[in-house]
Structure 1
């Protein structure tokens, strides 16, 4: 079932509110298609929200803690991307979440979210002319850990994944990844919810989230699987705002933008939040999640990483 909502911002954007029947019940997702329909196949980016967040927030329809952003929908409109944002199911703590492989999480839903996302990909290919060779997944926090799970279980279907403020599970229900993939990861060193060095996840608001490997350990899992060397190309982002107490550095393993690469953006002093050159968090939300970096735009960096990648089965 589909319902359309038109949002303004520079140009009109139409976001479809859709549902799909699954064994666990009705699942909801949002879709934004590019304005142009010239018949050519289009890249698909799937956005996965964090624990307690929503698809509507990622698509700029609603705010989270007073913060609202339509950065991903605006980028998708400009770049001709099919954008899909599925909604996680409500878990035992009353918050929407993903079943992200953590064996020690007591607040994950029991849903088969991998099968749900796979069905969404089928829908995008059949209904929205998505390119089977250009399927990308980006997630933040719990959504980022779900992106890791999709990399393990749907790796052959995906061209690349990206995870922001997310750690690989320390105690996993899933096997170790076996399919090398291009992976983009970003993490703040002052993240109090998903600690940079690993360990127990969560905050006073988020209990029972299990434990994760450290951020650098999480990166190493994918780098070693890809057979990439230990040495990385290092780029320090220019510091743009004098009042910004964070600093960002990008580490890249793999030389070919169209090939197998792993990228890690380390945000010194950064919290449990993406980066933006122009946006800022409301005071209270900043206190809860930590400092936002203003030297880069996360969605721009992720898309620059995604755009030349193709799934191995669709070179």
Structure 2
């Protein structure tokens, strides 16, 4: 009885972590920038595979940190599974800190960007990883959650030549009038939750968010922007993700446009009844947080799904395919 009580209290207040594999080691690093020293966590696998190493940059949400998103601070983050993937697959993972004032994302004013340009930070981190950590410049992947997703969108618009693919989680694009539109196609993967109480799946803004968030485009419109830019057919391949638990009332459907895993693809994991939370069976948010943020799906490991999408993507291949698509647009 006491054991069950302790387990219940832990689930309610601390959440749960079920790690089943070795994790890459992390170190705290700094990079000098015009705004001052910037901190980031660097994860490197314990063994070296032949050749250069893919690089995944993970961007935390508002109010979080590099430590939180890498599983070293409360609450447990599903994106910390990247440390297991890094050790298993020989990846480099970098998680920068937003620092004071949060990210200068796609909604940031010109004045804020001039004071702290976080896309320039990402570009500098990529250059440093290529020069000093043996990262593969053609295999750089960017993934962001919530406001980290908003910075991901800005980077995909401004430095697409440095990215092989990107992914956003519970984060809609800015409306067309609010930020520059993308002009270069990129492979893109979206995770959207239909019952998100912070960033509406259908776009806009909830009245109770007051001045804390800007209105966003819907997840479907965000997907459509990148799909149409890539010249992909509007008919996706659809897959229902197997359901694991009776107590989990969320459901996941995967939509994928584009057939080539090593080419231009746009994907969407649509999580019915899911809240503002990354899906994961192994990193579960405290139930008290879920009461506020909404249900967390347990059918899908978000980092593993993103890695499956990223794995074969190459910047050079994506650029060549994008050039061909521009010259030979898809037939209606």
Fold match (TM-score > 0.5): yes
CA distance in 1, matches of 2:198, 2:111: 16
CA distance in 2, matches of 1:210, 1:255: 34
CA distance in 1, matches of 2:232, 2:281: 31
CA distance in 1, matches of 2:211, 2:278: 22
C-alpha displacement at 1:277, in angstroms? Answer: 2.3
**14, 39, 45: which one pairs with 1:34?**
45
Are 1:86 and 2:91 counterparts? Answer: no
C-alpha displacement at 1:60, in angstroms? Answer: 1.2
Give the corresponding residue for 1:267: 271
Give the 3-state SS of the residue equivalent to 1:244 in structure 2.
coil
C-alpha displacement at 1:122, in angstroms? Answer: 0.5
C-alpha displacement at 1:9, in angstroms? Answer: 7.9
Give the 3-state SS of the residue equivalent to 1:47 in structure 2.
strand
**Superimposed CA distance per residue, residues 19-46 of structure 1 (whole angstroms, 9 cap, x where no aligned partner):** 1111111111010112123552000000
Give the corresponding residue for 2:223: 219
- Structure 2 runs not aligned, ≥5 long: 1-18, 321-332
CA contact (8 A) 1:193 1:201 kept: yes
Deviates more, 1:13-22 or 1:97-106: 97-106
Deviates more, 1:108-117 or 1:224-233: 108-117
C-alpha displacement at 1:296, in angstroms? Answer: 1.1
Aligned length: 300
CA distance in 2, matches of 1:108, 1:291: 34
Are 1:308 and 2:312 counterparts? Answer: yes
C-alpha displacement at 1:289, in angstroms? Answer: 1.1
CA distance in 1, matches of 2:235, 2:50: 43
Which of structures 1 and 2 has the bigger CA Rg?
2
C-alpha displacement at 1:98, in angstroms? Answer: 1.2
Give the corresponding residue for 1:54: 65
Are 1:210 and 2:209 counterparts? Answer: no
Instruction: Report the TM-score, using the length of structure 1 for normalisation.
Output: 0.89
Give the corresponding residue for 2:324: none
Are 1:23 and 2:34 counterparts? Answer: yes
Are 1:76 and 2:81 counterparts? Answer: no
CA distance in 1, matches of 2:62, 2:207: 10
CA distance in 1, matches of 2:109, 2:124: 27
Distance 1:188 1:104, change over 3 A: farther
Write the mapping of 1:1-315 to structure 2, written as runs, cut at 5 A. 11=22, 13-38=24-49, 40-64=51-75, 67-68=76-77, 70-91=80-101, 97-102=102-107, 110-170=115-175, 174-200=179-205, 207-312=211-316
Distance 1:104 1:150, change over 3 A: closer
Distance 1:179 1:61, change over 3 A: same
CA distance in 2, matches of 1:74, 1:162: 18
Give the corresponding residue for 1:94: none
C-alpha displacement at 1:76, in angstroms? Answer: 1.2
CA contact (8 A) 2:55 2:91 kept: yes
CA contact (8 A) 1:192 1:289 kept: yes
CA distance in 2, matches of 1:309, 1:222: 16
C-alpha displacement at 1:109, in angstroms? Answer: 9.4
CA contact (8 A) 2:48 2:90 kept: no
CA distance in 1, matches of 2:99, 2:208: 20
Give the 3-state SS of the residue equivalent to 2:284 in structure 1.
coil
Give the corresponding residue for 2:10: none
| Higher RCO structure, 1 or 2 (CA under 8 Å, sep 6+) | 2
Give the 3-state SS of the residue equivalent to 1:199 in structure 2.
coil
C-alpha displacement at 1:295, in angstroms? Answer: 1.2
Q: Which has the higher strand share?
A: 1
